[in-house]
Amino acid sequence: MLTRLYLLRHGETDWNQKSIFQGQTDVDLNKKGRDQARKTAELFQEIEIDQIYSSDLKRAKNTARLIVHDKNLEIRENKQLREVSFGDWEGLSFAEIKKQYPDQVVSWQQDPIHNSPPAGEKLLNFKLRIEDFFKKIISRHQGDKILVVTHGGVIKVYLTAILSIKPKNFWQFQIDNCSLTELKFYDQEIILSKLNFTNTIK
């Protein structure tokens, strides 16, 4: 039985544009992000979706609403789909973080599995949270086409989990705003058929 999972990163925010760490801070889409979502909606005119889930953060759920505005589908919001928490680093650029938290940055870069940003989330806990969510929905909706609108970190870390890649290497995947990643589940086999596919303005 074939189950298709479509993973979509949210559209652009002002913090994305400025390269500021967002994490679980509830930043909404900017104008470009809304335009990206409307453009991405064109892809789903030819793809019939059976189920749609979204992170409960504004940038994800508002992307989801723009994409399925003309479809008779309930968007199920779920906190498990939130981005990793960067704790005290949220709202700062990487340059600011390195200046204010030099020792913690080094520890985090060397071992993000067991070291987290101050008041943030360890990569191991983030990975377990994501895996638990996807295991449940794949089991619940076998044979369906499932759209999940979420965050870049969620998609990257989930890909490391199902492709047997070390979680600390999540950064090797490029996941742009409003890009689509497609996974096909054939019983025990998983195939990555699309990665970082965009139909949007850069």
Query: Cβ contacts of residue 178 below 8 Å, gap of 6+?
Result: 8, 9, 10, 11, 12, 33, 36, 37, 39, 40, 63, 198, 199, 200
SS3 2: strand
Per-residue confidence in pLDDT tens, the chain, 202 aa: 899 999 999 999 999 999 999 999 999 999 999 999 999 999 888 888 999 999 999 999 999 999 988 788 999 999 999 999 999 999 999 999 999 999 999 999 999 989 999 999 999 999 999 999 999 999 999 999 999 999 999 999 999 999 999 988 998 999 999 999 999 999 879 999 999 999 765 4
Query: Which member of 74, 77, 83, 141 is catalytic?
Result: 83
- The verdict on whether residue 9 carries a ligand-binding annotation is yes
Per-residue pLDDT at 46: 82
- The verdict on whether residue 87 carries a ligand-binding annotation is no
Taking alpha carbons only, the member of 91, 123, 14 closest to residue 59 is 14
- The verdict on whether residue 171 carries a ligand-binding annotation is no
Inter-residue contact 147 to 63 (CB < 8 Å): no
Burial of 201 (0-12, 13-18, 19+ CB in 10 A): exposed
182 catalytic? Reply is no
- The verdict on whether residue 28 carries a ligand-binding annotation is no
Cβ burial 137-172 (10 Å sphere, 16+ → b, else e): bbeeeeebbbbbbbbbbbbbbbbbbeeeeeebebee
- The verdict on whether residue 23 carries a ligand-binding annotation is no
Per-residue pLDDT at 70: 79
Helix H or strand E segment including 52: strand 51-55
Inter-residue contact 96 to 63 (CB < 8 Å): no
Architecture per CATH, domain 2-85+123-197, reads as 3-Layer(aba) Sandwich (3.40)
Six-digit token pair at 75? 């968007």
- The verdict on whether residue 16 carries a ligand-binding annotation is yes
151 catalytic? Reply is no
Per-residue pLDDT at 140: 96
Per-residue pLDDT at 167: 87
